[in-house]
């Protein structure tokens, strides 16, 4: 007697569903990382490579500087002061925005709004010329507020699309895509400025200002996948009668400040991050100016230098991401900070072994190797210690740590330039930030931090 045929439809259907689910997860992960690809146009072209040098040397007069309230300010120092002002504003609003977004479950609309603020004012930098330091400062500040604030909300989605086992790799994927995206736009900008004949146009057809316009176009186009395919997975709470999301956001922020005592390891990490990231951010925004004024590199050389950094940083972020998931996130960050300390000391004495340009390229290779990894792993460590229910709120604290770092580092560097008239003199100031931040980070217990996160989750359930 023959046995009845076994129906495999149910199993096959489950396999198809599982495969479709995995495809959706991969699409969501890559789409999330695409926002790093998109906004890195601003981070590279505006903040790190072209506009900072253009502002310091052309808009604000370079060594000649500008007179503000009868005080002569070096162009590079004014740039540092403007960055500090913008970051102060971002630092103040970030935790409020995160708390409001968690309450309303509207992280995506907030991200879109600030993204387009950044896009619009990046495009308006096209109209900034020599001596226009007032509108050049205003447009840049508004663009930087849009850039930095939108990242708060994008970072808060990291917990939704990852697990504790792969959060380091996914965070590093975002940073890696950012370096590739920023590097590709830099390559396009280099072609525009140096080789327009490759597209049939005469030399000099494109200007530096056209590069700023390219940032707006790039950022706008490549942010679309994130907005289409990364979905909000949390639900907003019903508003108490007579209250607004702003009031609720403020109350939640106050509660977070009270509950931070239950997340001591996270708090120690945020303090360490505030300090060591101060050094990293200052190096990022000053490297182009340092290259122009100390190393005497031309714009084309600086773009090539940063292209090298972008693509090496991509590989570095991937390597450090795997290290973080295998040896521990804290250990990987500490290794990177030891290397950063070495870099800053060598930069101060640059030119003592070979010629100054050769050493600068060597330093660039070393810095690029740890640049993406140190920041990507910091983001993943924050995610590993952060309760999912307060993702945007706690990432607001993460952002405020980073933004406060971006206030004091450039401010101190700018003051040193103002009083010494030397861009090189301030480089040792960042060494202290790396060392102090590393010492605090050594006290952070990752396992205990995860336990605190889980305890907090149980309290919320109960």
Note the pLDDT tens digit of each residue in 381-406.
Answer: 887 887 776 666 666 666 666 666 66
Cα distances from 58 to residues 12, 325, 462, in angstroms, run: 65, 45, 60
**Are the CB atoms for 440 and 272 separated by under 8 Å?**
yes
What is the topology classification, in CATH, of domain 25-229+241-461? Growth Hormone; Chain: A; (1.20.1250)
**Count of CB atoms within 10 A of residue 172's CB?**
29
Cα separation values, 7 from 19, 67, 120, 388, Å: 20, 84, 58, 41
What pLDDT score does 278 carry? 84
Q: What is the pLDDT of residue 462?
A: 47
* 246 CB neighbour count, 10 Å cutoff: 12
CA dihedral (368, 369, 372, 374) positive or negative? negative
**Measured CA angle at 93 (ends 178, 138), to 5 deg:** 75
Closest-CA residue to 442 (of 315, 312, 269, 278): 269
| Predicted local distance difference test score (pLDDT) of residue 13 | 52
Eight-class DSSP state of 50: S
Using CA atoms, how far apart are residues 155 and 383, in angstroms rounded to an integer?
9
What is the SS3 assignment for 68?
Answer: strand
- d(CA 376, CA 424) in angstroms, rounded, equals 28
Q: Characterize the bridge pairing of strands 66-68 and 71-73.
A: antiparallel
Helix (H, G, I), strand (E, B) or coil at 298: coil
Give yes or no for a contact between 242 and 73, defined as CB atoms under 8 angstroms apart.
Answer: no
CA angle 403, 405, 409 (to 5 degrees): 125
229, 28 Cβ separation under 8 angstroms: yes
Q: For residue 17, what are the contacts with CB-CB under 8 A and spacing of at least 6?
A: none
Domain ranges in the chain are 25-229+241-461
pLDDT at 139: 97
The reported pLDDT for the residue numbered 245 is 66
Tell me how far the alpha carbon of residue 164 is from its chain's centroid: 21
Kindly give the confidence (pLDDT) of every residue in the chain, 462 residues in length, as a single tens digit, with 9 standing for 90 and above. Answer: 444 444 445 555 544 444 444 454 588 889 999 999 999 999 999 988 899 999 999 999 988 999 998 899 999 899 989 988 888 888 778 767 766 776 777 788 889 999 999 999 999 999 999 999 999 999 999 999 999 889 878 887 887 887 767 776 787 788 778 878 988 999 999 999 988 988 888 988 999 999 999 999 999 999 999 999 888 776 666 666 777 767 776 776 677 677 666 788 888 888 898 889 888 888 888 888 899 888 999 888 998 998 888 778 777 777 877 777 777 888 889 999 999 999 999 998 998 888 999 999 999 999 988 887 787 788 778 878 877 766 666 666 666 666 666 677 788 888 888 888 888 877 888 898 899 999 999 999 888 887 877 775 555 444
Cβ atoms < 10 Å from Cβ of 63: 12
Q: What pLDDT is stored for residue 63 in this prediction?
A: 86
In three-state secondary structure terms, 20 is: helix
DSSP character at residue 242: T
Please report the pLDDT score of residue 6 as a whole number.
Answer: 45
The span from the CA of 90 to the CA of 72, in Å, is 27
153 contact partners, CB below 8 Å, separation of at least 6: 97, 98, 101, 107, 108, 110, 111, 114, 392
Contact 440, 271 (CB under 8 A): yes
Q: Closest Cα to residue 294, out of 133, 427, 428?
A: 427
């Amino acid at each position: 007697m023959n046995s009845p045929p076994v129906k495999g439809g149910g199993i096959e259907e489950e396999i198809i569903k599982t495969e479709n689910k995995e495809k959706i997860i991969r699409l969501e992960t890559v789409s999330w990382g695409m926002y790093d690809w998109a906004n890195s146009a601003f981070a590279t072209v505006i903040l790190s490579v072209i506009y900072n040098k253009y502002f310091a040397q052309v808009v604000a007069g370079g060594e000649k500087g500008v007179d503000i309230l009868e005080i002569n300010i070096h162009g590079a120092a004014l740039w540092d002061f403007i960055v500090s002002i913008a970051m102060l504003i971002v630092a103040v609003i970030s935790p409020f925005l995160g708390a409001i977004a968690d309450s309303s479950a509207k992280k995506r609309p907030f991200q879109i709004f600030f993204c387009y603020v950044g896009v619009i004012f990046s495009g308006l930098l096209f109209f900034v010329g020599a001596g226009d330091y007032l509108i050049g400062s205003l447009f840049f500040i508004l663009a930087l507020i849009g850039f930095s604030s939108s990242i708060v909300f994008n970072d808060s989605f990291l917990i939704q699309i990852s697990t504790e086992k792969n959060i380091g790799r996914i965070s590093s994927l975002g940073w890696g895509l950012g370096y590739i995206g920023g590097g590709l736009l830099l390559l396009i900008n280099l072609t525009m400025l140096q080789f327009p004949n490759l597209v049939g146009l005469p030399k000099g057809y494109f200007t530096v200002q056209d590069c700023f316009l390219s940032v707006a176009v790039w950022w706008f186009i490549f942010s679309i996948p994130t907005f289409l395919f990364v979905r909000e997975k949390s639900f907003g709470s019903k508003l108490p009668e007579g209250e607004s999301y702003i009031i609720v956001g403020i109350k939640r922020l106050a509660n977070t400040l009270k509950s931070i005592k239950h997340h001591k390891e996270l708090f120690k990490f945020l303090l360490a991050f505030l300090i060591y990231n101060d050094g990293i951010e200052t190096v990022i925004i000053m490297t182009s100016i340092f290259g122009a004024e100390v190393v005497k590199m031309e714009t084309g050389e600086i773009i090539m230098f940063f292209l090298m950094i972008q693509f090496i940083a991509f590989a570095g972020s991937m390597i450090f991401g795997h290290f973080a998931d295998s040896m521990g996130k804290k250990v990987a960050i500490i290794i990177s900070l030891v290397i950063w300390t070495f870099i800053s000391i060598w930069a101060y004495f640059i030119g003592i072994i070979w010629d100054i340009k050769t050493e600068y390229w060597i330093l660039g290779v070393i810095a690029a190797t740890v640049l993406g990894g140190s920041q990507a792993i910091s983001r993943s460590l924050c995610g590993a210690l952060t309760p999912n229910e307060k993702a945007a709120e706690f990432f607001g604290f993460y952002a405020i740590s980073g933004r406060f770092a971006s206030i004091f580092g450039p401010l101190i560097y700018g003051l040193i330039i103002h009083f010494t008239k030397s861009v090189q003199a301030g480089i040792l100031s960042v060494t202290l930030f790396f060392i102090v931040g590393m010492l605090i980070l050594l006290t952070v217990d990752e396992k205990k931090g995860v336990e605190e996160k889980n305890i907090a989750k149980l309290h919320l359930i109960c």
